[in-house]
Amino acid sequence: MLVLNLRLGLNISPMETLRSLIFWMHLIAGVAAGVVVLIMSITGVALTYEKQMLEWADRGAWTAPSPADARHLPPETLLAKAAAAQPGLAPTGVTLRANAAAPATVTFQGNKSLLINPYTGTIIGEPPAGLRSFFRTMTVWHRYLALEGASRSIGKAITGAANLGFLFIVLSGIYLWFPRVWSWLQFKNVLWFRRGLPAKGRDFNWHNVIGFWSAVPLAVVVAGAVPISYPWASNLVYRLAGDRPPTAAAPPAAATPEPVSASGLNAAWSRAQAQVPAWRTMTVRLSADSRPLALTVDQGYGGQPQKRETLTIDRATVDIAKAETFADLSPGRRARSWLRFAHTGEFYGLAGQTLAGIVSAGGVVLVYTGLALACRRFMSWIRRRGQQGSAEHARAA
Q: pLDDT at residue 16 above 70?
A: yes
pLDDT at 255: 56
Where residue 320 falls among pLDDT bands split at 50, 70, 90?
very high
Q: What distance in Å separates the CA atoms of residue 356 and residue 346, rounded to the nearest whole number?
A: 9
Contact indicator for 31, 371 with CB cutoff of 8 Å: yes
Q: What distance in Å separates the CA atoms of residue 233 and residue 223, rounded to the nearest whole number?
A: 10
- To the nearest 10°, the Cα dihedral for 56, 59, 63, 68? -100
Stretch 24-45: mean pLDDT, rounded?
95
Residue 349: alpha-carbon gap to chain centroid: 13
Q: What distance in Å separates the CA atoms of residue 287 and residue 281, rounded to the nearest whole number?
A: 19
Stretch 98-112: mean pLDDT, rounded?
91
Q: What distance in Å separates the CA atoms of residue 14 and residue 1, rounded to the nearest whole number?
A: 10
pLDDT tens for 226-275 read 999 999 999 999 999 999 998 876 666 555 667 888 889 999 999 999 99
* Alpha-carbon distance values, 155 to 45, 122, 123, 163, 290 (Å): 19, 43, 39, 12, 42
Of 387 and 362, which is predicted with more confidence?
362
pLDDT at 344: 96
pLDDT at 132: 94
- Of the listed ranges 141-145, 152-156, 189-193, 303-307, the one predicted with least confidence: 189-193
Number of CB atoms found within 10 A of residue 314's CB: 17
DSSP string, 293-319: EEEEEESSSSS-GGGEEEEEE-TTT--
3-state secondary structure (DSSP) of residue 344: coil
Where residue 109 falls among pLDDT bands split at 50, 70, 90?
confident
Where residue 397 falls among pLDDT bands split at 50, 70, 90?
low
pLDDT tens for 161-217 read 999 999 999 999 998 888 776 777 777 777 888 888 899 989 999 999 999 999 999
- Of the listed ranges 114-118, 192-196, 332-336, 390-394, the one predicted with least confidence: 390-394
pLDDT at 249: 63
Q: What distance in Å separates the CA atoms of residue 371 and residue 379, rounded to the nearest whole number?
A: 12
DSSP string, 103-149: PEEEEETTTEEEEE-TTT--EEESPPHHHHHHHHHHHHHHHHTT--G
Number of CB atoms found within 10 A of residue 42's CB: 18
H or E stretch covering 325: strand 320-325
User: Could you tell me what percent of the chain has a pLDDT over 90?
Assistant: 69
pLDDT at 2: 41
Average pLDDT over the chain reads 89
Stretch 13-24: mean pLDDT, rounded?
84
Stretch 379-386: mean pLDDT, rounded?
80
DSSP string, 40-88: HHHHHHHTTTHHHHHHHHHHTTS---S-TT--PPPHHHHHHHHHHHSTT
Where residue 25 falls among pLDDT bands split at 50, 70, 90?
very high
pLDDT at 254: 55
Q: pLDDT at residue 4 above 70?
A: no
pLDDT at 345: 95
Q: What distance in Å separates the CA atoms of residue 286 and residue 242, rounded to the nearest whole number?
A: 35
User: Could you tell me what percent of the chain has a pLDDT over 70?
Assistant: 91
How long a stretch of residues is the chain? 397
Contact indicator for 27, 374 with CB cutoff of 8 Å: yes
- Of the listed ranges 64-73, 128-137, 387-396, the one predicted with least confidence: 387-396
Q: What share of the chain is helix, strand, coil (3-state, %, to 5)?
A: 60, 10, 30
On the CB side of 340, CA atoms within 13 Å amount to: 14
Q: pLDDT at residue 8 above 60?
A: no
Question: End-to-end distance of the chain based on CA atoms, in angstroms?
Answer: 35
pLDDT at 65: 78
- The reported pTM is 0.87
Q: What distance in Å separates the CA atoms of residue 128 and residue 108, rounded to the nearest whole number?
A: 17
Contact indicator for 359, 218 with CB cutoff of 8 Å: yes
Q: What distance in Å separates the CA atoms of residue 17 and residue 286, rounded to the nearest whole number?
A: 63
> DSSP label at 246?
P
Q: pLDDT at residue 11 above 70?
A: no
Stretch 2-24: mean pLDDT, rounded?
66
Q: pLDDT at residue 395 above 90?
A: no
Stretch 103-120: mean pLDDT, rounded?
92
What is the b/e burial string over 48-62, where b = at least 16 CB atoms within 10 angstroms of the residue's CB? bbbbeebbeebbeeb
* Alpha-carbon distance values, 38 to 30, 129, 180, 349 (Å): 10, 27, 29, 25
pLDDT at 266: 95
Q: pLDDT at residue 153 above 50?
A: yes
Q: pLDDT at residue 6 above 90?
A: no
Q: pLDDT at residue 63 above 50?
A: yes
3-state secondary structure (DSSP) of residue 191: coil
